[in-house]
Amino acid sequence: MTTVVVVRKKNEIAIAADSQSTFGDTRLSASMDARWDKIFESHGGYFSISGSAAHDLVLQAALKKNPKLSFASRPAIFESFRKLHPKLKEEFFMKPDEEEDDPYESSQITALLANPNGIFGVYSLREVYEYERFWAIGSGADYALGAMQAVYDNPKLSAADIARAGVEAGCVFDVNSSLPMTLYTTSAARR
């Protein structure tokens, strides 16, 4: 799994992620992985996924094939993932089945997005959340959320500092997350 965080504070937006990949009981650390950065840039912002490592390249390829998609707001992100869903099935052979009683087909993707318009989470049934302060996904998310809650109101800390604290906590306590981390920032658009 992983630890991925997004933070918005004042006019700064940050996204950060650990570097470890896990395959069952086998761990692939950054020192063994030529491409350990779990964050990629697309459509004017940064994306990172949690779950199957296959989603990373699939989502990058799908976004590259669809340059007109918008990720500027919660409704725009929903619409973009709605448009991507049939392409994920047809072009990338995604299996949309999760639970038998799910109300919709699953896109199987859990992702965080950070762009000048805000910080967002996208979940498997194309649920889209916009976060005001911070959020985390992955197996280290609970540790990251606790750490970020503890330090967020410190006036001396930037969004990048808070994101760093979240990923570091995930890496200390979650066996499926480890350092080094990657961290990207952007300026927030005026509200």
User: What does each of the 191 residues of the chain score in pLDDT, given as a tens digit?
Assistant: 799 999 999 999 999 999 999 888 899 899 999 999 999 999 999 999 998 888 899 999 999 999 999 999 999 999 999 999 989 889 888 787 777 777 877 777 899 999 999 999 999 888 999 999 999 999 999 999 999 999 999 999 999 999 999 999 999 999 999 999 999 999 998 76
- Domain CATH code at residue 38: 3.60.20.10
Report residue 169 CA to chain centroid gap: 17
3-state secondary structure of 25: coil
Q: Quote the domain boundaries for residue 19.
A: 4-187
Report residue 1 CA to chain centroid gap: 12
Q: Judge contact between 129 and 155, C-beta under 8 A.
A: no
Q: Give the count of domains, the chain.
A: 1
Q: Please tell me whether the overall predicted TM-score, pTM, comes out greater than 0.75 for this model.
A: yes
